[in-house]
């Protein structure tokens, strides 16, 4: 299996089949020559990934508020019936307790897959994630770890969520050594990245763009596969400006790239996929080619992860930059209800920033 898959100029590594964990085998390849695939939306792809995780690992558990009967977004539908209520079960409405229990379960060598019903509700569990999960391995000198922990949480705008059902808190967790932060953009990516997160030997916070749960539909391989963490993907090649984003914002940015192309501007679009640790090399190589960088995310602009990307690229590519790094992000306000269209980093905002950066 020494061959490689070339996609958008990056070589994705094949890992020999037969990788064993907890006595089970699973494939790390993205696809076979002609893998069976079906058209799935994002929540169905998540459900399929959870099904595979439970089926291939007898020490995997899925739990959270209302997951026993499918959860509010139906991502866990059918799992309790298939695997039993001892492996898929409801918890009290206590996020701190959910994550604390998950840390203990993972520390005993299990795969703890905890669901936080909305990312907005993750803050009561902040201490458990930051002071316990992230530091478990370090403080014990690698004698103990909770690397089997994965925390799933729907994040971002949904069109009517307002203050407490629309937030994008990823930057809080990107500031914490010991955690990985992963955000998929589509059903195929969601399945492969979630399986990688569950099987990764480190605690992972996995944010799912709830706007796309039903809107995003594509062909998804039905077999067990994983996509590599910490490898960004160039999903659109260009020469005038580099755009970097993640999650649901990628579709907005891609629309802006299409409109910019009509005006003679060639945009390179990168999906970061893993925010921590993020793929600096791919972004740097692109910016060295284009000389310009635009970052876009739904979270408020101040302290957003876009600022970290901007600072890193300025350090690495200062003499190659033709314009200041641009950020098109959410506003520095609580997430609004009726004013959501004004808050969001829309296609037109991204397009205006592309033009102003290229014409700087």
Across the beta sheet with 233-236, the strand order is: 233-236, 267-271, 241-245, 293-300, 326-330
Q: Tell me: the pLDDT tens digits for 265-291?
A: 999 999 999 999 999 999 999 999 999
Q: Which candidate in 95, 115, 132, 189 is catalytic?
A: 95
Strand runs (DSSP E) across the chain, as ranges?
4-7, 10-13, 19-21, 24-26, 37-41, 60-64, 88-90, 111-115, 149-155, 180-182, 204-209, 217-221, 233-236, 241-245, 267-271, 274-276, 293-300, 326-330
The number of helices, as runs of H, and strands, as runs of E, in the chain is 13, 18
DSSP 131: I
| Torsion sign, CA atoms 327, 160, 162, 276 | negative
Q: Tell me: the pLDDT tens digits for 130-141?
A: 999 999 999 999
Residue 56 contacts residue 26 (beta carbons within 8 Å) = yes
165 is annotated as an active-site residue: yes
User: Residues of the chain with pLDDT > 70: what percent?
Assistant: 91
Q: Tell me: the pLDDT tens digits for 38-96?
A: 999 999 999 999 999 999 999 999 999 999 999 999 999 999 999 999 999 999 999 99
Strand runs (DSSP E) across 192-320, as ranges?
204-209, 217-221, 233-236, 241-245, 267-271, 274-276, 293-300
Mean pLDDT, residues 4-27 taken together: 34
95 is annotated as an active-site residue: yes
- The whole-model pTM stands at 0.90
Q: Which candidate in 65, 115, 132, 165 is catalytic?
A: 165
Q: Is 135 exposed, middle or buried (0-12, 13-18, 19+ CB in 10 A)?
A: middle
What does the block give as tokens for 159? Answer: 């069109």
Query: Which residues does 142 contact at the CB level (< 8 Å), separation at least 6?
Result: none
| Torsion sign, CA atoms 239, 243, 247, 250 | negative
Distance (Å, rounded) from C-alpha 129 to C-alpha 136? Answer: 10
Beta-bridge mates of residue 19 = 26
């Amino acid at each position: 299996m020494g061959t490689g898959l070339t996609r958008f100029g990056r070589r994705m590594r094949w890992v020999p089949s037969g990788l064993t964990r907890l006595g089970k085998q699973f494939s790390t390849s993205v696809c076979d020559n002609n893998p069976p695939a079906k058209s799935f939306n994002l929540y169905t792809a998540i459900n399929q990934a959870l099904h595979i995780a439970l089926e291939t690992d007898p020490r995997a558990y899925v739990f959270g508020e209302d997951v026993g009967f499918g959860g509010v977004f139906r991502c866990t539908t059918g799992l309790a019936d298939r695997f039993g209520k001892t492996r898929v079960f409801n918890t009290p409405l206590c996020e701190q307790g959910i994550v604390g229990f998950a840390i203990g379960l993972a520390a005993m060598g299990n795969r703890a897959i905890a669901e936080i019903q909305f990312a907005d509700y993750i803050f009561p569990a902040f201490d458990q994630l930051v002071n316990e999960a992230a530091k478990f391995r370090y403080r014990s000198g690698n004698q103990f770890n909770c690397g089997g922990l994965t925390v799933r949480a729907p994040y971002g705008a949904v069109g009517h969520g307002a203050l407490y059902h629309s937030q994008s808190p990823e930057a809080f967790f990107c500031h914490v050594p010991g955690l990985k932060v992963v955000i998929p953009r589509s059903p195929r990516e969601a399945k492969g990245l979630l399986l990688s997160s569950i099987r990764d030997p480190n605690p992972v916070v996995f944010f799912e763009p709830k706007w796309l749960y039903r809107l995003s539909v594509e062909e998804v391989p039905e077999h067990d596969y994983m996509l590599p963490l910490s490898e960004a993907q160039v999903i659109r090649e260009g020469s005038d400006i580099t755009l970097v984003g993640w999650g649901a914002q990628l579709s907005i940015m891609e629309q802006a790239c299409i409109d910019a192309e009509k005006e003679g501007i060639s945009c390179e679009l990168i999906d970061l996929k893993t925010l921590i640790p993020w793929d600096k090399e791919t972004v740097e190589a692109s910016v060295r080619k284009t000389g310009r960088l635009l970052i876009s995310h739904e979270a408020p602009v101040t302290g957003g992860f876009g600022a970290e990307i901007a600072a890193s690229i300025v350090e690495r590519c200062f003499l190659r930059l033709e314009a200041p790094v641009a950020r098109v992000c959410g506003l520095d306000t609580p997430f609004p209800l009726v004013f959501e269209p004004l808050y969001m980093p829309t296609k037109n905002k991204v397009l205006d920033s592309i033009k102003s950066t290229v014409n700087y």
